[in-house]
Each structure stands twice: as structure tokens, then as C-alpha cells.
Amino acid sequence: MLRRILLVLVSLLLAGALYVAGGLFLAKRAINALAPPLPSTEDVLAFDASADLPVHLSWVNTASQTMPRSAVLEPSLDTTPKTPYVMSHPSFVLEWTDGRIFLIDLGMDRAAAASFGTPLQWLAGAAELKPIDSAAARLGAALARVSGVAFTHEHPDHTEGATELCLLHPGPIQLFQNRLQLEESNFTTRPGQRILEEAKCLEGHVLDGGPLFGVPGFPGLSFFAAAGHTPGSQVFVAHVRSGDSVRTWVFTGDVVNQIDGVRQNLPKPRLYSTLIVPESTARLDELRRFLAALERDHGVTLLVSHDQLSIEASGLTPF
């Protein structure tokens, strides 16, 4: 009897391992097949100087967690592994002259943030995560001016804040997506997609055409389908007016998780891109090079979602 029980347990473990391996294989194959066309550098940089461009950009950080760079950069290639790194979970806040607000990503609320941080303590040697508050709560009275939102991708640490947003804001809030973000998914994005489906204040709009999509009703803001990290990943571009000058900001999402990933073309840890979040390493390499050229050759400011220190160094002010 004991032998039979052991055989059943071993069989179940093997079946579970095969199921996980099969899921990883399918997700990896699917993401490797996605390479939507990138816009030209000229299109990314172009803007209408006479348009009603956004006049202010700030950020709301919903959680912070200090950890080694080896958690987000391939350690065998990182030449400065001791450099401090703090993982952030932001929402970026764009404002126009009439007061309307557009949010890029929403981060998490306090409870979700606490749950998210625990595995990183176990697996990556991270410090305890410090929850701050949800983007909706931090916006306070300004929440009523939010009329648009979009997500660099649909992982829950970027979308979870939509739940509290819709509890506090009656809507409708316009949600903008490229078609891949709406129609493609894998096991890492489905939980985030369900969050957005259940957020009843969001009114979805799928934009076709491209490769650079202008966001209707929000001049100076555009995005392009990126894939690489998730099937529906998208990178945003905002031309923000300040007095007589205009500064171009690019929101990279999770193409990289630390700015040196772009500046030194460093990939994420191999185990992460294979076993945790199946990524297209070839596509991410292409995206890193594209973003590096924008920063190096054209003075564009890159905002890497999960790199708190580089966001602070960019001069971006908290909301």
C-alpha cells in the first residue's frame, strides 16, 4: 500500500512538472513569434509645436523594495554588481492645461504590494518591501480629473491599482491599448487582464494602424507595440511642454528593470526570462538598442518603471 501511494505521489509530481514545462514552452514560443514593427526615430521625436501638449509630468510611487542588481540584470555580465538598486512600482501622471490627467500604469495597493514583495525576499535576497499607498489614494482630489489611462503591460504589479481607482472614481475613464495587449495573453498576464476586465470604470479603446499610435484626445502622447516582455507590452512617448521648451520622455515599462539594461545592453537574468516570465530575449535586445539610441543620440529621457533611483535622477517630481 505504501509503495502504491508513493508511486501515485511521484506520478502526480511528474505530471505537474510536465504541465509547468509545457506551459513555459508554449508561452516562450508564443512570445518569440511576436515582433510588431517599431516606429522610426523621426516619428518618435516628432510633435506639433502648436498642439495642446501636456504641461506637467510627475509620478506616484506605490511601493519600494531594495534588492541586489543580480535580481534584475544578468549577473555574469554586470560589471558593477554592487551599485545600489531600488525597485519601484509607479504610476506616471500627465496633465494638460485644462487640468485633465492621463495615467500610465497604476502600480498596486498596500495589500497587493506586501504580497508581491515576499517572494523577492526569498528568491532574490531583497529587503522587506515598503508599501506606500495606491495611486488613486495618493491623487486625492485630483482623481476626479483623471480621464485616460493605459498600461505598459498587464502584469498585476502594473494593473492592480485599477481596482481602487474604480472604487474611488465613478468613470468613465478611457483605456487605450494596442490590439496585441487586448487579444494575446499568457499565464503571466491573465491575472492582470482579469483585473482590468473587472474594473468597471474603464472604457476600452483598441487602436489600430501604427506603428506609432497617437492617443486620441491627448495630444503629445503616443505609444508603440513592443512585445518582448509580454505579448501586449507597449512603450509610451510624451512630449511635455515647459515654458518655451519641450522635453521628450519615453516610458519603457519592463523592457528593462534597471537603466543600465539599456545603457550597457544588459539582459535580465537568464533564469528570470526562462522560468519566471518567458520573454523574447532577441526582441528585448532589439528594444534595448532602440531605446539606447533615443537617449544617447537624441537626448530623450527614459523612465524605467522599476528603477526608482534612475526615475529620481531624471528630475521627475512626485505628484
pLDDT tens digits, one per residue of 50-73: 999 999 999 999 999 999 999 999
Residue 267 neighbours by CB distance under 10 Å: 17
Tell me the Cα Rg of the chain: 20
- Looking at residue 1, its pLDDT comes to 57
pLDDT at 22: 64
Residues of the chain with pLDDT under 50: 6-19
What is the distance between the alpha carbons of residues 53 and 255, in angstroms, rounded to a whole number? 26
pLDDT given at position 4: 54
Domains of the chain: 34-318 (3.60.15.10)
Average pLDDT of the chain, as a whole number: 93
User: What pLDDT is attached to residue 168?
Assistant: 95
